[in-house]
Amino acid sequence: MDRCIAAADPNTPSVWTGSTNWTDNQIHSDANHVVIVQDEALAKAYLLEFEEMWGSSTMTPNLSASKFGPLKTDNIPHTFNVGGKTVELYFSPSDKTNGHIIDALNTSDKELYFNVMVITRTDIANAITKQIGNGIFAAGVINDTSDAASKTVYKILKPMMNERLRVYTGSGIFHHKYAVIDPQLTNSDPQVITGSHNWSSSAENNNDENTLIIHDSTVANLFYQEWIKRYFDNGGTDTFKYVKPTVASSIKNTNNVVAFSLEGYGWNGNSLRMKFTASKQGKANLMLRDLNGKMLGESAIYLQDNETVAEMPLQSVAHGIYLLTIYQDGQAKSYKLAKF
């Protein structure tokens, strides 16, 4: 069944979707994500899908008219404009979702990241390896390689991805189903593939699932930060080359303690990658300016109580010296960053 809700409130028509089932373990223990989109047209499309399974547009279901699984039809629009951003919507099994997932993977210009519970489709695995062969950097985490189909896909991906393909080692279920495409190339087409659809034949041919493909650099960057955390947690390593920054100024809190530090940075295409250490968890705000004070970029991150890697997407940054300021809990610390 689709793991989603379409809210009919005319003031805030919204869609609640993602990988999360409504159970205690899924919400509190298992690795999952939720996406909430406030958009009337998108909510109406989800409502049409619900009514097809409900068998009625009234409060009373009609079992004789209801359709599930392979009996459903492709009866909704698939492309939406949400706040100026393109969002694609596909339901399974009527909309041939795996083909649209492959189409999105094929658009990557530089990087492709995924966290997926299970991959049993060799066509998706072959699309990933083809992109790697074209010079695309790909890395990901999967939950399960126990059944025959998963083992076949693992054997396809592992020789091409090597240590960049990780198998989940934590407790509970690694229940994510998302991919992030070019999150650091804002002048490309950064995308997130998300929803309830496993990359499997069951999801493609039998199960009632939903998939969103969101074309937005900010959403892609948020998912990328989540991806980095999960990747490192499961043995992934960061091969990015960092430069040690120079401290420009520091404002301490009332306890005279600065709880965070920028350990390294580097310019990665049209983004700034940063590695932080912190003595406590908490939200921090980042601002990048040139020496004339012009704002070039800002973002909010969540610092972990050890090491955090974050990305700040930027439009274009010329060679020169820049100031990065980090704010957290009444503290502010600025660093001089050089780009050559």
| CATH code where residue 309 lies | 2.60.40.2550
Domain residues for 16?
Answer: 5-233
Per-residue pLDDT of the chain (340 residues; tens, 9 = 90+): 655 565 656 678 999 999 999 999 999 999 999 999 999 999 999 999 999 999 999 999 999 999 999 999 999 999 999 999 999 999 999 999 999 999 999 999 989 999 999 999 999 999 999 999 998 889 999 997 888 999 999 999 999 998 899 999 989 999 999 999 998 777 789 999 999 999 999 999 999 999 999 999 889 988 988 898 899 889 887 656 678 888 877 766 555 455 788 999 988 767 788 999 888 788 889 999 999 999 999 988 888 877 888 888 887 788 888 999 999 888 889 999 988 7
Give the total number of structural domains in the chain. 2
Measured distance CA(98)–CA(219) in Å, rounded: 22
Q: What single string gives the DSSP state of each residue in 260-289?
A: EEEEEEEEETTEEEEEEEESS-EEEEEEEE
Residues 26 and 165 in one domain: yes
CA dihedral of residues 301, 302, 304, 307 (deg, nearest 10): -10
Residues 162 and 264 in one domain: no
Measured distance CA(129)–CA(244) in Å, rounded: 34
Give a yes or no: residue 239 inside a domain.
no
Which residue, 115, 140, 151, 147, is CA-closest to 30?
115
Residues 229 and 106 in one domain: yes
Give a yes or no: residue 241 inside a domain.
no
Measured distance CA(212)–CA(196) in Å, rounded: 9
3-state DSSP call for residue 192?
strand
Residues 258 and 210 in one domain: no
| The pLDDT of residue 8 | 56
Give a yes or no: residue 240 inside a domain.
no
Chain-centre distance for alpha carbon 203: 20
Measured distance CA(249)–CA(325) in Å, rounded: 9
Examine the fold and report which residue of 233, 255, 273 is the final residue of a domain before the chain moves on. Answer: 233
Residues 170 and 268 in one domain: no
Examine the fold and report which residue of 173, 198, 233 is the final residue of a domain before the chain moves on. Answer: 233
Give a yes or no: residue 43 inside a domain.
yes
Task: Give rounded-to-5 percent helix, strand, coil for the chain.
Answer: 25, 40, 40
Give a yes or no: residue 238 inside a domain.
no
Residues 6+ apart with CB under 8 A from 64: 55
Measured distance CA(11)–CA(24) in Å, rounded: 30
Q: What is the CATH number of the domain that holds 71?
A: 3.30.870.10
Examine the fold and report which residue of 204, 233, 262 is the final residue of a domain before the chain moves on. Answer: 233
| The pLDDT of residue 256 | 47
Residues 205 and 164 in one domain: yes
Residues 221 and 282 in one domain: no
| The pLDDT of residue 91 | 96
Residues 225 and 146 in one domain: yes
Render the burial of 112-145: b for 16+ CB within 10 Å, e for the rest: bbbbbbbbbbeebbebbbebbeeebebbbbbbbb
Residues 327 and 224 in one domain: no
* pTM of the full structure: 0.74
Give a yes or no: residue 184 inside a domain.
yes
Give a yes or no: residue 260 inside a domain.
yes
Measure the CA angle with vertex 141, ends 270 and 28; round to 5°: 105
Residues 218 and 250 in one domain: no
Residues 154 and 281 in one domain: no
Measured distance CA(141)–CA(157) in Å, rounded: 11
Contact at 8 Å (CB) between 71 and 206?
no
